[in-house]
Structure 1
Amino acid sequence: MLFVFSIFVLTIVGLIRFQSRPAYVFGITLLLLYSGSFVTSAQLVASVANEGLLTLILLMLCSLALEKTRLLRIVATLIIKESYTATWLRLFGFTVLSSAFLNNTAVVSTMLAPIRNNPHHAASKLLLPLSYAAILGGTLTLVGTSTNLIVNSLAIEAGLPALAFFDFTLVGMCVVLACGFTLFLLCPWLPEHEVEVEDVKQYLIDTKVQQGSSLIGKSIDQNGLRHLESLFLVEILRDDQLLSPVAPTEVIRVHDRLIFSGDVAKVMQLNHFDGLSLFAHENGLPLDNLTEVIVRPESMLLNKTLKNAGFRAVFDAAVVAIKRDGEPVSGKLGDANIQAGDNLVLAVGDDFKHRKNINKNFIILSGVEPDIMLSGHKEWLVVLGFFGTILLSAIGLVPLFKGLVLLFGVLLLTGCLNSSEVIRRLPTNLWVIISSALLLSHALTNSGIMLYLGHINSFFEHGLSPLWALIIVYLLTWCLTELVTNNAAAALLFPIAFGLASSLDANPMAFVMAVAFGASASFISPYGYQTNLMVFNAGHYQLKDFIKIGLPISLVYGVVAISAIIAVFGL
């Protein structure tokens, strides 16, 4: 028993000491427990293949397909308004509702670019409320945050009934309303930091507005062209006139050349705008096979334009984007004079690799894997399939695990997801953390530590009341989630909470909820929750900003959460 307890304590110490590597800490814990025979092989297998854990993994993988649709981006364009209050309310409401059903990391990631590029408000005035709203929204449903699914899997493992989809909703609504109101009152104290200007020496991407495009007659802002992820509209070429910088009120006209700067891997976003073609499209090549090259000093292309050089015919390739470190490239790609050392991203044809002139003209760096975006029937399949699965689970017609297995299979078969991106985005670290924590709870039970909690309670003169035990469990979980991560806090404190509830003959559901809501109460530290870390860097915040705004939110959250748990579930 002492050795298992020592491993438990050392795991917490390791998580605090190595905050950026929780998977390694939990992995060592798993190896120690199994090698020391403190758990059985059957318990190890059951922990790794736990249904609740697999449900979480499937939910995250299926949400990858949703990220490839235009749904979140379209909604994002409707949020930013000239009025700060209107923008804040729209942002908070959208983020809370979205995070209740979607991966809140994906929601925050989608909103980062629109907020940073908006012309009306400082990004630092909106990014922290964005993260807090995502955290609060995640408390509303079973699938709202990974911690709820972790707690559900731990509850099933402990012999409790599985948590229903809306078991969290009443308590979650209380904390959303109370903390949302508090956050709104604290808005004047949010910092107002300048956002760094985009580096125009990134890749430049040339696009053309075709006849009949829905972009024509609408402003840049109305079309959502300032709300793209990692792409920034730097100039418009119109009738040999160059417009730069581009005002958000500038109205798009037919045949305008829109020049974007940014990450070429995000170029597939532009496919969502009908009637907007890329230079590669004009040359009849798709964008799903990109290659990055550098122009050699002895290249035949030097001081020639792409059009004059007959680039498409000579190399069976078309230039998607160009970057020149010495000076910025401006205007249409086809009219740019190629220089030695230019970085080009090429959409290549089937014959590209067989051409003998490639190595004479280019140094091939690597393939560029673009973020593939979905459109047409595949986009509808993903959106309807995802929300249909969630709806069927919510009303109890199809278990969430079964629905996600079927949806995942359909997404793979239809090409909405492919095996390479699934392998690349598989949340292996989360898998290791949760399965190791499940195994640790088995070890604590096997060693008799859970029974020992009952003996500790007898040392109190009148016994520890369920109310104080609930408060202690919540505070311990809250402190741990601020020190380490929300998932680790939930996994480590659950067996302690369940053991206390059993020894006090209290309602275990109240203690389960105390762990779930305590693990989601990360408002003070930028490192305790992933969305906090995302906005911490994007908004140029300091730790004092999180403390100043997050401490009052945490206090309100704690009081409301504990009160609502007692009112809804009882002790």
Structure 2
Amino acid sequence: MLLTATVLVGLITALVATKQRVSHMFVAATAVLLVGGEINTQTVLNHVTNSGIVTLVLLLLAAIVLERTVLLRFLAKHIAHSQYLPSLIKMGALSTIASSVLNNTAVVATMMRAVMKSQLHAPQRLLIPLSYFSILGGTLTLVGTSTNLVVSGLVTAQGGPNIAIFDFLPIGAALVAGCGAVVMIVSRWLPQQTTDESLESQYFIEAAVAPSSPLVGKTVIKNGLRALDGLFLAEIVRGDSLISPVKPDDVIQANDKLLFSGDVRRVHQITALPGLHTFNKGDLPATNLREVLVSPESILIGKTLKQVGFRARFDAAVIGLSREGKTVSGKLGNNPIQSGDKLMLAVGPDFERRQNISRNFFLLSDYKTFQPLSVVQNTAAIAGFLAAIAAGALGIMSLIESLTLYLVLMVGSKVADSSQLRRRFPFELLTILVCALSLASAVQSSGLAQSVTKSFLSHINGVPTVAVLLSLILLTVLLTETMTNTAAAALMVPIALSVADGLQLDAMPWVMAVAYGASACFISPFGYQTNLMVMSAGEYRPADFIRVGWPVTLVYIAIVTVLIPIVFPFDSV
């Protein structure tokens, strides 16, 4: 018991006081417990295959599949607003609703990329609220968060009451309303570093707006030009004038030349927009990109692309031009080519067979463009994910089975890329969760949990029941903030059932206290997986979570403490 308590205190101290990687500290704590004999290898391996953890990993992998669909761009387009508060409200509403029926980790994984690419507001001002709203949305239903699933599974395994899917809804709705309002207020305390709108890139991609384009007469933001994935609208050439930087409220006009910078491999997003054409007045001839250097012997030198009939001569279209390491803006098609210019070409099937290629260019590299999914593939990916969640929620099959089937079908049908799934496998998050559950096992097996429960019960004689409930909530919140929500739930469920039994009261209020308390992670980035995700993406410091998290936590605890006895009365057993 002494060894386990020492390791627990040491881990908490290290998390707060050092800047070491969180996974390394959890692994070190687990290693000490293994060497000390408090846990064994089999215990750790059992946690690797824990159904809650496996489900969580599968949900994260499924979210990677969803990133390829139109869902991400849809979310980005509907989150986007030129003003910060409307953007925050839209994002909060979407993430809350989505998190009530989908696991909130999957929701954050999907929406986080949209927030990072929104190009309107600093991601740091939106990512923590995204995590908070997803946590609040997860409190609405049983399937909204892995915490609720873990609590339900542990309670059922220990003979406690069954928790229905909508038992969380009344209190969860109050939390969304009350804490959501607080998030709106305190979000102004977040870092306000603005996005670098220059977004330096090696290439500009130019597209012309046709007079008949439906983009004409609408603002940049209304046309979704701030919601492109990996591309940024940097300049607009209008006649002889250049608009730079481009503002969200700028109106697109006929014959404008739009210059995008960013990842040229995502050029399909530009050609897919109605009435937009690359400056050579034609569609891209192929999905393959070639980066070439103009040879000193090239016939292009001193001439424009139009003058040499570039596309007909080489079976390729120039989509980007770089000169002396700098992007070349303006009317690319009218720019005389110089020796040493780098061109990004979209090439046709005859490009490699043209006899004039080696004389005019040095081939540098080739790329594959990111191709959008078809309508059928988009439908299958989105509908399949929702069907997998529904199958798990309705008990047709377990979430592990339904999500595994979904991923196998997506990889088999080429909707998902297996190599990408391997590269983005959440090893660090998996390590933290497994070690946290191993630590919770040691706390129970060493007798530390029983000692805490016994001491707790000995000090509550004559104390009002609501005060006891508040103490249990506070203890769970404290553990959640310092360990992880899953570990806190695993540790506190046996204690909650023991307290209910000792007081001879119905177990439901105490179990729900643990479930809600284990989701109340707003102060620490380490206790909840969505906080860990946005901390890395937004490059936050722990102090950022503390600054905005403590008011949300106080309101959260107050709402839960007041409403649990009303929704789940303290009936005697």
Q: Is the 8 A contact 1:390 1:400 kept in 2?
A: yes
**1:243–1:469 distance in 2 versus 1, CA, 3 Å:** same
- Structure 2 distance, partners of 1:205, 1:530, is 38
The aligned residue for residue 64 of structure 1 is 64
The aligned residue for residue 556 of structure 2 is 557
| Aligned AA (2:399) | L
Measured after TM superposition, the shift of residue 74 of structure 1 is 2.7
Aligned pairs for 1:265-280 (under 5 A) are: 266-270=266-270, 273-274=273-274, 276-277=276-277
Structure 2 residue 49 is the aligned partner of structure 1 residue 54: no
Aligned pairs for 1:18-417 (under 5 A) are: 18=18, 21-34=21-34, 36-78=36-78, 89-100=89-100, 101=102, 102-114=106-118, 116-117=119-120, 129-149=129-149, 151=151, 164-184=164-184, 193=192, 195-199=194-198, 201-202=200-201, 203-209=203-209, 214-215=214-215, 218-237=218-237, 242-246=242-246, 248=248, 252=252, 256-264=256-264, 266-270=266-270, 273-274=273-274, 276-277=276-277, 282-286=283-287, 295=293, 300=298, 305=304, 319-324=318-323, 327-338=326-337, 345=344, 347=346, 362=362, 364=364, 373-417=372-416
Q: Is the 8 A contact 1:70 1:272 kept in 2?
A: no
- Structure 1 distance, partners of 2:167, 2:368, is 41
Measured after TM superposition, the shift of residue 421 of structure 1 is 1.0
- Structure 2 distance, partners of 1:543, 1:113, is 23
Q: Is the 8 A contact 1:295 1:339 kept in 2?
A: no
Q: Is the 8 A contact 1:108 1:131 kept in 2?
A: no
| Aligned AA (2:285) | G
Q: Is the 8 A contact 2:99 2:134 kept in 1?
A: yes
| Aligned AA (1:51) | S
Measured after TM superposition, the shift of residue 241 of structure 1 is 6.5
**1:431–1:325 distance in 2 versus 1, CA, 3 Å:** farther
Identical positions, percent: 37
| Aligned AA (2:28) | I
- Structure 2 distance, partners of 1:27, 1:158, is 28
The aligned residue for residue 426 of structure 2 is 427
User: Which string of whole-angstrom CA distances, capped at 9 and with x for unpartnered residues, describes residues 167-204 of structure 1?
Assistant: 433322111011223445667x6679572441253231
**TM-score, scaled relative to structure 1:** 0.78
| Aligned AA (2:416) | L
Q: Is the 8 A contact 1:200 1:328 kept in 2?
A: no
User: Which string of whole-angstrom CA distances, capped at 9 and with x for unpartnered residues, describes residues 42-61 of structure 1?
Assistant: 43332111222111111111
Q: Is the 8 A contact 1:469 1:500 kept in 2?
A: no
**TM-score, scaled relative to structure 2:** 0.78
| Aligned AA (2:107) | N
- Structure 1 distance, partners of 2:366, 2:510, is 51
The aligned residue for residue 437 of structure 2 is 438
Greater mean alpha carbon deviation, residues 12-21 or residues 62-71:
12-21
Q: Is the 8 A contact 1:23 1:433 kept in 2?
A: yes
SS of alignment partner, residue 484 of structure 2:
helix
- Structure 2 distance, partners of 1:62, 1:55, is 10
The aligned residue for residue 494 of structure 1 is 489
Q: Is the 8 A contact 1:204 1:260 kept in 2?
A: yes
Measured after TM superposition, the shift of residue 414 of structure 1 is 1.3
Structure 1 runs not aligned, ≥5 long: none
SS of alignment partner, residue 504 of structure 1:
helix
SS of alignment partner, residue 451 of structure 2:
helix
The aligned residue for residue 15 of structure 1 is 15
| Aligned AA (2:21) | R
- Structure 1 distance, partners of 2:178, 2:57, is 31
Structure 2 residue 452 is the aligned partner of structure 1 residue 449: no
- Structure 2 distance, partners of 1:310, 1:160, is 77
Structure 2 residue 503 is the aligned partner of structure 1 residue 504: no
Structure 2 runs not aligned, ≥5 long: none
Measured after TM superposition, the shift of residue 87 of structure 1 is 5.5
- Structure 2 distance, partners of 1:539, 1:461, is 43
Measured after TM superposition, the shift of residue 68 of structure 1 is 1.9
Q: Is the 8 A contact 1:104 1:145 kept in 2?
A: no
SS of alignment partner, residue 282 of structure 1:
coil
Measured after TM superposition, the shift of residue 314 of structure 1 is 8.8
User: Which string of whole-angstrom CA distances, capped at 9 and with x for unpartnered residues, describes residues 470-511 of structure 1?
Assistant: 4344334434555x5xxx422332344134224324566545
**1:200–1:545 distance in 2 versus 1, CA, 3 Å:** closer
